[in-house]
Amino acid sequence: MTRPRYRLFRRLSWICVQCRANHSVASNNSSPRVLRTGKKGKGGLPDGPARTRFAPSPTGYLHLGSLRTALFNYLLAKRTGGQFLLRIEDTDQKRTIPGAEERLYEDLQWAGLQWDEGPNVGGPYGPYRQSERTALYRSHAEQLISTGHAYRCFCSAERLDALARHRNQAGLPIGYDRKCFDITQEESEERAAKGEPYVVRLKADGYPLFDDLVYGKTGQNRNGGKKHLDFIDRVYEDPILLKSDGHPTYHLANVVDDHTMKITHVIRGTEWMASTPMHVALYNAFGWTPPQFGHVPLLVDKNGQKLSKRNADIDISFFRDVEGIMPAALVNFAALLGWSHTQKSDVFSLEELKDIFDLKITKGNTIVAFEKLWFLQKAHAQRFAAQGGAEFEQMVNRTCEAAEKMWSKEQLDSVLQGRTLASYITPLLRADAKSYTKPEEFLTRNQTFFTTSLQRPPYEPAASGKNASSGSSSPVVPLSALHTAAAALSLVPESHWNAETHRFNISSYDGAGAVADSVSPADVSDDEAARIAKDKAFKKELYHYLRWALSAGAPGPGIPETMEILGRAESVRRLEEARKLTMSAESQHSSSVKTPLAFSLNGGKAGGSKGANDADHSWMGSLAPKNNK
């Protein structure tokens, strides 16, 4: 048999070809992927750069739905080489929450959605806070009055209330009867100049349909030249553009700003879809070309209920501060809410999303399944663990903080034995990043790393280790063979105590000779195939035993990594403790089993059992006898 050429206890460049191949597959997982980027003009993407905006009102915090809206606008701008703007729509001063604006900045930046123009960064079309643009809205309202597209309405609140009550009682939709529409320009100017309170209304004789990027031709064509004549009196929607306090309504401010800020694409929630025809009517009244609108579907829970505070449409600080979700995972999760792609995997960094985003957005409600968020959290944790960098450092820091809360200093000190907590937790996170949800859960899963008195359940051989065919319950691999292998693994000196060495030692340990004959399948005539089957059974049992010995059978990092992280002293102590605990079981079985794999810890000759590769000590690395072949 040609044996692979190994040089143990060296770095990876000396390991066997197969191991090297495996290693390069593993490390490729963290290298940049090739993504299908598609062509502009496809998936609703414009050919030129898009200017988009996120226009939150500081009446609440950023939540999952608004994060998605911000993200889609951000991605559309980035994908097309355009700009992403942030505009604060604070026209409703009464509902403004103190501090909400600052939190919005903080949350967007946490998610990585840095705006190109907006508050704090400025830009050519500022100011970017609507409360600082009142004069602009007033002058635009005046402009519409002068062109006959809008008019002043001096009706008192009492009159409008009475009108509303009257229509309500008659079961008619609310509307305005255009009483003030007939007031002449001169009278209107005069009354306004005298200080009589008024609002400005848009003269809306019907709303146009519009072409939505997601929903296609849409709009209710409200009024439509019909609804304004009913059998009691004439009624028009004529929405208010400027309130009696001189402040604009959302509709006027939104349209004026999108136009003057040169916004090309408006991506927003479907809750605004009903207002869009009115906005298009306003654009028409000004003689402006409207931007393109794309309305993104509502987020619903698994029961089809709109996400609300009760079912997790909570502000993102909950995901960040309470759940410990990382920005990459939350952003990736938000991106998948309604957007469909043709990539092989759903796991994307923000940078990757910038390259592949398009407007293939699904119509209809989007079901939010939070299992996916945890899947993405684990996937990104793995990426960060493989890449290192600031995100991984944060994982380490948060996990250290959590460990300090979960265990006393004395307990941690007894485990660390002079090592720093970060240096202990870093390889643990690297080795088990695939299960990183949040620090506390991660530590609970790996709690066997934080104790010096491991509580093990009684040892049970792996299910497949039971000697079923003989009808006896004696294990297929005798405990003495497992003890011998464990003792041999303990021989590795401190200087070479690392996962690579252990992995190599375990894999090159030939345990076939210690395995009962019943393990080899009946149809295996060839000795080599039988030996391989037995060796496989041995390895399976050995891994099972080592997991029990080293971590009480708990899931977690692989055995070689576990040994490295625990360190030599603690690993050897645990293996020895496990041996003692299973000594009595060993003596019970010793009469019914074959001679265990013979192995002498001083590197002497293995012998005895048939099939044991008695001269093969390559698994011992530099400890192997020098005359080894």
* Amino acid present at 297: P
What's the min distance (Å) between Cβ of 101 and ligand GLU? 12
Check residue 52 for interaction with ligand GLU (CB under 6 A).
Answer: no
Q: Print the binding letters for residues 170-189 with ligand GLU: x by CB under 6 A, - otherwise.
A: --------------------
586 φ/ψ sector (left φ>0, alpha ψ -120 to 50, else beta): alpha
Yes or no: say if 293 and 270 are a contact pair by the CB < 8 Å rule.
no
What's the min distance (Å) between Cβ of 272 and ligand GLU? 5
Give the count of alpha carbons within 13 A of 136, CB side only: 19
Tokens of 451: 């104790």
Q: Which of residues 77-116 bind ligand GLU (CB under 6 A)?
A: 89
Q: Which of residues 373-432 bind ligand GLU (CB under 6 A)?
A: none
Stretch that binds ligand GLU, among 49-57, 140-148, 436-444, 484-492 (CB under 6 A): 49-57
Question: Residues for the chain: how many in total?
Answer: 629
Q: What are phi and psi of 21, to 5 degrees?
A: -60, -45
Q: What are phi and psi of 54, to 5 degrees?
A: -115, 130
Q: Which of residues 297-336 bind ligand GLU (CB under 6 A)?
A: none
Q: Which is nearer to ligand GLU, 89 or 323 (CB)?
A: 89
Q: Check 262, 309, 405, 605 and give the catalytic one.
A: 309
Tokens of 188: 């209107």
Tokens of 422: 């970060």
Check residue 248 for interaction with ligand GLU (CB under 6 A).
Answer: no
Check residue 582 for interaction with ligand GLU (CB under 6 A).
Answer: no
CA–centroid distance for 553 within its chain? 30
Tell me how far apart the alpha carbons of residues 396 and 422 are, in angstroms, rounded to a whole number. 7
Tell me how far apart the alpha carbons of residues 130 and 134 are, in angstroms, rounded to a whole number. 7
Stretch that binds ligand GLU, among 54-62, 328-336, 501-509, 593-601 (CB under 6 A): 54-62
Stretch that binds ligand GLU, among 17-25, 53-61, 215-223, 602-610 (CB under 6 A): 53-61
Tokens of 108: 């967007």
Residue 309 catalytic?
yes
Q: Determine which residue in the list 9, 15, 50, 56 makes contact with ligand GLU, applying CB under 6 A.
A: 56
Stretch that binds ligand GLU, among 55-63, 121-129, 219-227, 321-329 (CB under 6 A): 55-63
**83-86 vs 216-218, strand pairing mode:** unpaired
Yes or no: say if 415 and 449 are a contact pair by the CB < 8 Å rule.
yes
Q: Which is nearer to ligand GLU, 268 or 540 (CB)?
A: 268
Q: Which is nearer to ligand GLU, 256 or 550 (CB)?
A: 256
> By C-alpha distance, which of 424, 411, 455, 428 is closest to 553?
455
> By C-alpha distance, which of 71, 92, 74, 90 is closest to 82?
74
Binding residues for ligand GLU, rule CB under 6 A, total 7
CA angle 315, 351, 323 (to 5 degrees): 30
Q: Determine which residue in the list 167, 268, 430, 531 makes contact with ligand GLU, applying CB under 6 A.
A: 268
Q: Which is nearer to ligand GLU, 96 or 592 (CB)?
A: 96
What's the min distance (Å) between Cβ of 280 and ligand GLU? 13
What's the min distance (Å) between Cβ of 114 and ligand GLU? 19
Stretch that binds ligand GLU, among 52-60, 174-182, 239-247, 579-587 (CB under 6 A): 52-60
Check residue 272 for interaction with ligand GLU (CB under 6 A).
Answer: yes
Yes or no: say if 48 and 326 are a contact pair by the CB < 8 Å rule.
no
Stretch that binds ligand GLU, among 50-58, 76-84, 395-403, 421-429 (CB under 6 A): 50-58
Tell me how far apart the alpha carbons of residues 159 and 323 are, in angstroms, rounded to a whole number. 52
Q: Determine which residue in the list 52, 57, 505, 571 makes contact with ligand GLU, applying CB under 6 A.
A: 57
> By C-alpha distance, which of 418, 566, 391 is closest to 490?
566
Check residue 254 for interaction with ligand GLU (CB under 6 A).
Answer: yes
In a 3-state reduction of DSSP, which class is residue 236?
A: strand
Q: Which is nearer to ligand GLU, 70 or 421 (CB)?
A: 70
Q: Measured between alpha carbons, how far apart are the two ends of the chain, in Å?
A: 12
Q: Determine which residue in the list 50, 55, 485, 606 makes contact with ligand GLU, applying CB under 6 A.
A: 55
Check residue 474 for interaction with ligand GLU (CB under 6 A).
Answer: no
What's the min distance (Å) between Cβ of 271 and ligand GLU? 8
Check residue 283 for interaction with ligand GLU (CB under 6 A).
Answer: no
> By C-alpha distance, which of 243, 254, 246 is closest to 135?
246
Q: H or E element: which one contains 52?
A: strand 51-54
Tokens of 239: 């929405």
Q: Which is nearer to ligand GLU, 254 or 582 (CB)?
A: 254
Check residue 562 for interaction with ligand GLU (CB under 6 A).
Answer: no
Contacting positions for ligand GLU (CB under 6 A): 55-57, 89, 254, 268, 272
Which residues are catalytically annotated? 309
